[in-house]
């Protein structure tokens, strides 16, 4: 028996012109601080789908690359695209309070204003017929902004697989943003200055800005993704310190 689900919203915000603060490695994050008490049941491969309307071609490839950035951590939790056609909006079952079936996991291309991407996770309580119960994440929804130029002026998604040289200054790297959102989908949903699963841009000293000259060492789970940046596709030391022990 599955009880009603609830969801937690995670928002990734884009900021410009961050002040240079340098990198101080004395800060060591931990899973207990940043991973919610309820995680995915493992071992498990979570299947997900593109929602109808998602662009074809390189945008899909870079989205899958974002999930693979997590998969290469060699955790008992994996993410895999579901075979078959794209998910129809009418077939979405996300955080339903009435449907006892599993939650749909999917990635959507939509204009949602002033954030590059958002992630939500659903949890459900399952009652064991033999007694007891447990709570676990059983679905996620990731949304990518379909209209960067409208929300940010002259701005575009960078869809190339190449990591160097830097992209033009008006581009955002889709692969990096997806890696960030997948970190949330894996359960990194608490902790940080806002309690939303992001490393603090200032006090934690792991998210240096562009002017510091050390932005190449920014962690993937910092709250912002810098313009021109394509260096946050794979999880760095502090990211891994949170994600690896969780499973």
* Residue 236, C-beta contacts closer than 8 angstroms, at least 6 positions apart: 217, 218, 219, 220
Map tokens 């447990």 to a residue: 134
pLDDT in tens, 72-114: 999 999 999 998 899 999 999 888 766 656 688 999 999 876 6
Q: List phi, psi (to 5°) of 109.
A: -110, 110
Cis peptide before 27 (omega within 30 of 0): no
Burial of 242 (0-12, 13-18, 19+ CB in 10 A): buried
Q: Which of 177, 158, 188 is nearest to 8 (CA)?
A: 188
pLDDT at residue 51 tops 90: yes
Percentage of the chain exceeding pLDDT 70: 72
CB 236 within 8 A of CB 229: no
Taking the whole predicted model, whether its pTM rises above 0.95 is answered as: no
Q: Which domains does the chain have, with CATH numbers?
A: 6-246 (3.40.390.10)
Helix (H, G, I), strand (E, B) or coil at 111: coil
pLDDT in tens, 195-222: 888 887 665 567 776 555 555 667 889 8
Six-digit token string for 94: 């996300």
Q: Looking at residue 136, what is its pLDDT? A: 87
């Amino acid at each position: 028996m599955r009880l009603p689900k609830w969801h937690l919203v995670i928002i990734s915000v884009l900021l410009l012109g961050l002040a240079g603060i340098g990198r101080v490695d004395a800060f060591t994050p931990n899973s207990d601080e940043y991973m919610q008490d309820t995680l995915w049941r493992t071992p498990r491969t979570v299947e997900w789908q593109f929602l109808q309307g998602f662009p074809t071609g390189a945008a899909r490839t870079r989205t899958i690359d974002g999930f693979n950035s997590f998969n290469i951590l060699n955790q008992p939790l994996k993410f895999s695209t579901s075979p078959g056609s794209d998910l129809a909006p009418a077939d979405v079952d996300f955080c339903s309070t009435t449907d006892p079936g599993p939650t749909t996991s999917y990635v959507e291309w939509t204009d949602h204003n002033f954030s590059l991407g958002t992630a939500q996770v659903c949890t459900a309580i399952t009652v064991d017929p033999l007694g007891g119960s447990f709570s676990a994440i059983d679905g996620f929804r990731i949304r990518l902004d379909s209209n960067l130029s409208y929300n940010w002026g002259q701005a575009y998604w960078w869809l190339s697989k190449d990591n160097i040289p830097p992209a033009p200054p008006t581009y955002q790297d889709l692969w990096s943003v997806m890696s960030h959102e997948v970190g949330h989908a894996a359960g990194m949903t608490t902790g940080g200055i806002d309690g939303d699963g992001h490393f603090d841009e200032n006090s934690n000293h792991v998210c240096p800005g562009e002017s510091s000259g050390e932005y190449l060492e920014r962690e993937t789970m910092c709250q912002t993704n810098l313009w021109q940046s394509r260096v946050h596709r794979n999880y760095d030391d502090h990211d891994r310190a949170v994600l690896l022990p969780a499973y």
